[in-house]
């Protein structure tokens, strides 16, 4: 009994709570006012605060890429104090993003970037994707956490 108690205390003292990895998702999006037709019937609606206004977007049910599609990244500063993550994509997501960005009308449509539970930005691609994509408006802590998660995989 005494040994069992010691083992229990030893295991509980050595046990660490593993922190969850940072969730990063990039979704096709449209301004709610522009989303007409049955295509958008299954899309979710989110509100996003931009400057002094609240914008409503509809978000596709499935993301184009997630943090698991990012195999490496570099972090840079933005003039507004936030961070931009230059993410290198794995082969699967690279082909997926190339096909998505091959359609010229997709380049001007917003993509909703969700980091954790926070909607970070709604910006268009503007140029076709090869094997890298820039994800903007991360906080310093979020960018560092993503980079650490990628290194520890």
Model confidence band, residue 132 (pLDDT cutoffs 50, 70, 90)? very high
pLDDT digits (tens, 9 = 90+) for 16-65: 445 688 999 999 999 999 988 888 999 999 999 988 899 999 999 999 99
What CA–CA distance (Å, rounded) separates 141 from 132?
22
**CA 135 from centroid of its chain's CA atoms:** 8
What tokens were used for 68?
């698991």
* Rounded Cα gap, residues 25 and 44, in angstroms: 14
The mean pLDDT value of the chain amounts to 89
pLDDT at 149 over 90: yes
Two structure tokens written together for 10: 């030893």
Instruction: Check the CA dihedral 13-147-111-90 and report its sign.
Output: negative
Q: Give the pLDDT confidence score for residue 94 in this predicted structure.
A: 97
Residue 153 above 50 pLDDT? yes
């Amino acid at each position: 009994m005494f040994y069992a108690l010691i083992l229990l205390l030893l295991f509980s003292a050595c046990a660490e709570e593993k922190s969850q990895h940072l969730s990063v998702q990039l979704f096709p999006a449209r301004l709610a006012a522009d989303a007409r037709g049955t295509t958008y019937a299954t899309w979710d609606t989110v509100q996003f605060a931009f400057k002094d206004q609240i914008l409503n977007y509809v978000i596709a049910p499935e993301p184009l890429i997630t943090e698991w599609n990012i195999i490496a990244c570099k972090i840079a500063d933005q003039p507004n104090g936030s961070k931009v993550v230059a993410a290198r994509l794995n082969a699967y997501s690279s082909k997926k993003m190339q096909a998505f960005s091959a359609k010229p009308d997709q380049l001007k449509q917003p993509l909703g970037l969700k980091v954790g539970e926070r909607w970070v930005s709604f910006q268009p691609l503007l140029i076709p994707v090869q094997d890298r994509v820039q994800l903007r408006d991360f906080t310093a802590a979020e960018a560092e956490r993503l980079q650490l998660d990628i290194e520890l995989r």
